[in-house]
């Protein structure tokens, strides 16, 4: 996407950020606004957000720009780095690829002033474009969020592929010792193994008769737990591996969604919520403090799985 610095954020179908704005229309974001303090230790928050609908096609840079505008519009006092070119102290971890939806993206904010996490969450959510939803914000009370993001649970929908054919291909893939694929990375074209990163794949779906007008009624759903490795193994890499070992080639484009990412329990393949430890530490620090958002957070939190098989039931 080619845009000047002052041009509005545009979605893949050409809608401006203002046209997609949630709720009432907001005033333009002032450019060049900096934090009132860049030298004092800041107040760190950890934020989970979702990338849904058309916004799955937004690049990481697009989302970063939209967030910086939302911070200004919501009057969130984000801290800035020092030097000739200050930039907001925002750290992204484990961002999903462009074209992939996600229910579990994470970032860290450093604020120049202490603010209630729920107030920051609500303000940012109202100021972000439709399709980028700020789900939760908690205080960063423990170190090492990036280290906790050890694996992801992905859901891949294969239109036009029957569950039996998908299950046969998955069985061949999981039985292989190594399944190498090629992909162009920042370091050029690389060849790497995908099989070692895959913990488990579960298959479900529907085997209905084909519908008229060329639409595919049969479809398979893959739920796969994939470790975070270097180079990163993405769900489309696993699909390439399935094509190599079992000639599984969906007749139409696939839909991919990250359902969760966090600490991995190797024996069971379960993925836990990475923010649980921050909430636990908060309750230990303030045992008498009631949490008015606990019930809503439980409803919205990524659900840990005992296994991929358990999730599909």
- The per-residue pLDDT for 4 is 44
* Residue of 217 and 312 predicted with greater confidence: 217
Q: How many domains does the chain have?
A: 2
User: Taking residues 242-270, what's their average pLDDT?
Assistant: 93
Same domain for 98 and 215, yes or no, is no
Q: Which residue has the tokens 């039931």?
A: 313
Beta bridge partner(s), residue 102: 51, 258
Residue 278 near residue 46 (C-beta atoms within 8 A): yes
- The per-residue pLDDT for 137 is 96
Same domain for 118 and 25, yes or no, is yes
Flag whether 154 is in a domain: yes
CATH number at residue 89: 3.30.70.580
Domain-terminating residue out of 96, 118, 147: 147
Name the nearest CA neighbour of 112 among 46, 48, 34: 34
Report the distance separating Cα 25 and Cα 22, nearest Å. Answer: 8
Checking if the pLDDT of 165 tops 70, the result is yes
Instruction: Please give the residue range of the domain that contains residue 185.
Output: 149-270+306-312
Flag whether 198 is in a domain: yes
User: What length is written for the chain?
Assistant: 313
Q: Which residues of 80-115 are buried (b: 16+ CB within 10 A; e: fewer)?
A: beeeeeeebbbeebbbbeeebbbbbbbbbbbbbeeb
Same domain for 175 and 74, yes or no, is no
Q: Which residue has the tokens 């860290």?
A: 108
The CA radius of gyration of the chain, in Å to the nearest whole number, is 21
Checking if the pLDDT of 36 tops 70, the result is no
pLDDT confidence of 11, banded at 50, 70, 90?
very low
Flag whether 298 is in a domain: no
- The per-residue pLDDT for 121 is 97
Flag whether 64 is in a domain: yes
pLDDT confidence of 126, banded at 50, 70, 90?
very high
User: Taking residues 57-65, what's their average pLDDT?
Assistant: 94
Domain-terminating residue out of 147, 177, 212: 147
Backbone angles phi, psi at 302, to 5 degrees: -60, 130
pLDDT > 70: percent of the chain: 73
pLDDT confidence of 146, banded at 50, 70, 90?
very high
Same domain for 102 and 211, yes or no, is no
Same domain for 157 and 118, yes or no, is no
Same domain for 112 and 198, yes or no, is no
């Amino acid at each position: 996407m080619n845009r000047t610095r002052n041009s509005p954020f545009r979605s893949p179908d050409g809608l401006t950020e203002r046209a997609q704005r949630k709720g009432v229309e907001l005033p333009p974001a002032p450019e060049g606004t900096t934090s009132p303090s860049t030298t004092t230790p800041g107040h760190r928050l950890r934020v989970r957000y979702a990338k849904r609908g058309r916004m799955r096609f937004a690049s990481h840079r697009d989302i970063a720009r939209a967030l910086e505008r939302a911070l200004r519009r919501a009057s969130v006092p984000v801290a800035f780095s020092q030097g000739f070119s200050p930039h907001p102290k925002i750290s992204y971890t484990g961002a999903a690829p462009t074209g992939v939806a996600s229910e579990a993206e994470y970032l860290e904010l450093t604020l120049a002033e202490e603010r209630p996490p729920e107030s920051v969450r609500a303000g940012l959510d109202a100021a972000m474009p439709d399709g980028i939803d700020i789900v939760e914000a908690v205080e960063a009370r423990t170190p090492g969020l990036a280290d906790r993001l050890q694996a992801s649970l992905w859901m891949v929908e294969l239109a036009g592929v029957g569950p039996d054919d998908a299950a046969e291909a998955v069985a061949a893939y999981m039985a292989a010792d190594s399944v190498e694929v090629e992909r162009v990375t920042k370091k050029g074209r690389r060849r790497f193994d995908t099989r070692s990163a895959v913990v488990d794949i579960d298959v479900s779906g529907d085997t209905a008769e084909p519908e008229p007008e060329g639409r595919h009624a049969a479809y398979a759903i893959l739920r796969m737990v994939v470790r975070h490795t270097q180079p990163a193994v993405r769900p489309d890499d696993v699909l390439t591996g399935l094509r190599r070992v079992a000639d599984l080639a969906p007749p139409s484009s696939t839909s991919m969604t990250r359902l969760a990412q966090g600490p991995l329990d190797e024996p069971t393949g379960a993925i836990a919520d990475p923010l649980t430890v921050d909430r636990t530490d908060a309750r230990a620090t303030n045992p008498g403090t009631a949490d008015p958002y606990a019930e809503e957070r439980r409803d919205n939190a990524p659900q840990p799985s005992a296994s991929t098989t358990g999730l599909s039931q």
